[in-house]
A = this chain, B = another copy of it.
Amino acid sequence: MNINRIGESTIALPNRPRLVASACIVGKKEGEGPLHADFDDIIEDDLFGEETWEKAEARFHYTAADTCLKKAGLTAEALDAVLGGDLLNQIIASSMAARELHAPYLGLYGACSTMSESISVAGMLVDGGYMRHALCTAGSHFCSAERQYRFPLEYGNQRPPTAQWTVTGAGSVLLTSDENLPAICRVTHLTPGRIVDLGITDANNMGAAMAPAAADTLCRHFQDMGSSPADYDLIISGDLGRVGHDVLLSLMQERGMPLDPAKYIDCGLEIFLPEQDVHAGGSGCGCSAVVLAGHIMRRIKDGELKRVLFMATGALLSTTSSQQGGTIPGIAHAVVLEAD
């Protein structure tokens, strides 16, 4: 059987699955940030009309998915699968959204790497002809994440400068093999992430915990492809934030594959302005999902970007593993997107 492999661990998608629609729905604070014009909708109400933040998170998730489907001119009945995940315990926001869509559902968990894990898996399933239409989705909510991972919001805890701000929002993209649907871009290659853990235990410094995994994936990707950072119009990391962004630049310099700071961005740094008081930047599954689905897709449509490497990054910790003194495993999945 032919192995669609390039090098040690990069996978080629010979049929170049089409990414035909994207949508992103964000909260008020994200709507006040520099990317406000790229979002499909900005919801002023943290609760999105629901009774709880967790149900609101599911509402963001569902609305992004539904908007994406509408933009593609499809209904949920046409979907062969929804592939999604989030940060809530047992990924209930995704599950609740998938329940409303009533399509086959593959739950994923890669922490904040979920959006690129989803595009990776869906890319292969569509490329191989196992699915025609697959919806990739990821999201997060500041309030539900604070409650679950840190403190009740009412407590007003102090945040260290290395801490990041969980993005409220969800992003969806639709992959398809249907040649009648015009593509925004194609998914052409992917490099699945390995877990890298250099022993960071500070859950308020996840950028530093994730950067080594990002460097591992990037180096394997460039080696496998015989490419260099210069071969991409833009390299996009998920939510390393200020600390992780700088660590990644250093690591890539050390490994002899320096990133050009003018052609490398981190979604966690793009989504908020420094004066929005988010410390080291944005984070959460929703961070890279909404920046990709909104800002990056707009720049590809505008002809500004022809070939990008999108690599969401995840910190695979839980409050229990942190309380037990566990170190933070990092992971990063990379996908190549090329304008059609």
Contacts and interface: CB of A to CB of B under 8 A. Distances in A.
Interface of A: 1-5, 9, 11, 15, 51-52, 54-55, 80-81, 85, 87-92, 95-96, 98-99, 102-111, 117, 120-121, 124-125, 127-132, 148, 177, 192-195, 197, 316-321, 324, 326, 329, 331
Nearest to A110: B107
A11 B131 CA distance: 8
A104 B320 CA distance: 24
A25 B26 CA distance: 44
7 contacts: A4-B129, A55-B324, A85-B109, A99-B195, A99-B316, A106-B108, A121-B121
B3 A95 contact: no
A127 B1 CA distance: 8
A98 B329 CA distance: 10
A62 B301 CA distance: 45
A324 to B, nearest CB: 5
A329 B99 contact: yes
A62 to B, nearest CB: 12
A65 to B, nearest CB: 13
A96 B1 contact: no
Given A54-B321, A107-B109, A316 B92 contact: yes
Nearest to A320: B54
A192 B3 contact: no
A231 to B, nearest CB: 22
Contacts of A197: 99
> Shortest 9 CB-CB distances between A and B: which pairs?
A128-B128, A104-B192, A90-B318, A95-B316, A107-B109, A99-B195, A1-B177, A89-B89, A89-B318
A55 to B, nearest CB: 7
Given A4-B129, A320-B89, A107 B104 contact: no
B320 A88 contact: yes
Contacts of A54: 320-321, 324
A106 B117 contact: yes
Nearest to A317: B90
B129 A3 contact: yes
Given A9-B104, A96-B329, A106-B117, 11 more contacts: A1-B129, A4-B129, A90-B317, A90-B318, A92-B316, A96-B326, A104-B194, A106-B108, A125-B125, A127-B128, A128-B128
